[in-house]
Structure 1
């Protein structure tokens, strides 16, 4: 039996339960991993609340897509993986079908990546989703390159920090937007070229001033909601406003008409665009691994929780006070 997190009704963190379940055997195209660490993501909280882009189709339901562990069993038709290998799972499947909040988990082999040599389980659970999101949107889709400027909010999140490092790696300039000044110095230490405190400053005016009136080539927006109009005002002609989250919880207008129909590109993005396309995932993996190898990339871990404290881990995530990735460890 394996301790497994499930929820029997949608709702807040308190609906999660730790239950003993038979992990089962992997089927065609699947592997079973011994889970050592789990990366906690906002998508899981939204799925638990019934507010994710994909509804909960059956209850009780499982949670989780990002974990690091060791392969215990390999199902038929799996190529490239074998028992005993250290791997990480990435968000490339529906939580209606699989979940990695558990001591043992079955996942599709297409959602597995080999863990780089020397990387421990905590880092292996913290690294992939943030960098795959930042690279997939800004570099793969957006074509970000040297000399570009990217403004990003929710900058102290794991994705925000990965976006800062990704921009620096390609020679772009990352400008972090944070609500209060509490995290300003840490964001500068993590590589932000500038930090704008939204409660104290006029964000679009500051972005325009920083770019000599040109505007930024990219906005990487995890908040969405009514604030998109102000941010879009600071996008350079032909620039792109990426929406990859909706932390505001409010309706998001299209600002193009209110702003006089500028040459504005607005695009949604989820990491699934990268993880469900083998060619994109291969390119993204190579980009991230090379950054890790040279020391340019490093996952930032905010806090560790044991599996027994999964409810507290989710409460901490929903407090929005973290700086970097929240990771749950699985002790035996």
Structure 2
């Protein structure tokens, strides 16, 4: 039986870490589905970097207003069908592709257009299904965007993250030679086992020199960077003439740096990359998401899952996801 009230995580105002004084757990009404809509019970949600950015008001897309309900991803169960819905059944597990507005999953119940929901294969666990959208689709998009010609190399930074490991796994599956960049030597072995052509640990190795060694002095064809700041500059200088760095994150919190002469005379580019923009340019969205689902079902990519926290402990969960060296994605459950 569907209750009248539900637990929600509301952003009352944008706030900084670790205070998070703008993140509140509240009670709200459970909505009813209209024609063509579905009432979903969302029961598990990963905390992605974009969610943490949204809490702080740093996200360039999604809600810029307050208050609003947080969360951009999760897995749900269909509990009630609106009039005219025929492609879904009560009790099915579903995910939003994407969730409307790219927010609103940090609550227990939500109405969604039926056309925006996709049934989840029984082959996928709840924790894998909850992560089906953001990281796997981003990994697919970044590899496709920066894919080098046969025999050439690509670079990725922050390779030890959940998303970074997915990128390495897809690159291996597609026969792409990828150079993974991490901060700590202790991370190298795991990524080598995943299939990286080489791993550079910047605590003991010079990024530019090592890339030149690995590529026989040619430099890499392209790079994807989640860090920004000085790292973007170093990665760009490790590329061959005409190479492009696709920046999709800002983990350092520092403005992007470039070497002016290296960029000018060697025709190098630094471009921002967003999942939504890439998705908007797809010719066959359905085929792409089916391919990504196949990667998950066949365990080509295996999301790394960590601890779960109840919605009521959202502050603890957000701080946990920001810890250096954390293993696996943090979830909100219930």
TM-score by length of 1: 0.88
Partners of 1:18 and 1:282 lie apart in 2 by 36
Q: Is structure 2 residue 48 aligned with structure 1 residue 44?
A: no
Partner of 2:290: 286
> Aligned partners of 1:262 and 1:206: how far apart in 2?
19
Tell me the secondary structure at the aligned position of residue 17 of structure 1.
strand
The equivalent residue for 2:254 is 250
Change (3 A) 1:163 1:216: same
Task: Identify which of 180, 192, 200 aligns with 1:196.
Answer: 200
How far has the Cα of 1:315 moved from its partner? 0.4
Residues 1:20 and 2:27 are matched in the alignment = yes
**Alignment coverage as a number of residue pairs:** 327
Q: 1:118 to 1:211 in 2, by over 3 A?
A: same
One of 206, 231, 234 as aligned partner of 1:230: 234
Aligned-partner SS, 2:158: coil
Question: What is the CA-CA distance between 1:212 and the residue it aligns to?
Answer: 0.7
Rounded to whole Å, the distance in 2 between the matches of 1:168 and 1:252 is 29
SS in 1 for 2:24: strand
**8 Å Cα contact 1:6-1:16 kept in structure 2:** yes
> Cα deviations across residues 177-214 of structure 1 (Å, max 9, x unaligned)?
11122323333333333221112211111111111111
Residue 328 of structure 1: CA displacement? 2.2
Q: 2:110 aligns with which of 58, 83, 105?
A: 105
Distance 1:251 1:323, change over 3 A: same
Shift of 1:76: 6.0
Q: Distance in 2 between matches of 1:5 and 1:259?
A: 44
CA RMSD of aligned residues (A): 2.6
Choose which of 165, 170, 181 in structure 2 pairs with 1:161: 165
Q: In 1, distance between residues paired with 2:83 and 2:226?
A: 39
Alignment of 1:1-332 (within 5 A): 1-11=5-15, 12=17, 13-27=20-34, 30-54=37-61, 56-75=63-82, 80-91=87-98, 93-95=100-102, 98-109=103-114, 111-139=116-144, 141-144=145-148, 146-255=150-259, 257-276=261-280, 279-330=283-334
Per-residue CA distance 1:57-82 (angstroms, 9 max, x = gap): 33222111110121223446767444
Cα distance in 2 for residues equivalent to 1:31 and 1:324: 31
**TM-score, normalised on structure 2?**
0.87
Task: For residue 52 of structure 1, report the CA deviation from its aligned partner.
Answer: 1.4
Following the alignment from structure 2 to structure 1, what is the Cα–Cα distance between the partners of residues 180 and 109?
38
Match of 1:66, SS? coil
Aligned counterparts of 2:316 and 2:134: Cα–Cα separation in 1:
21
CA separation of 1:318/1:116 partners in 2, compared to 1, >3 Å: closer, same or farther?
same
Shift of 1:254: 4.8
Tell me how far apart the structure 1 counterparts of residues 263 and 269 of structure 2 sit (CA, whole Å). 13
1:94 and 1:132 map into 2 onto residues whose CA distance is 17
Greater alpha carbon shift after TM alignment, 282-291 vs 183-192: 183-192
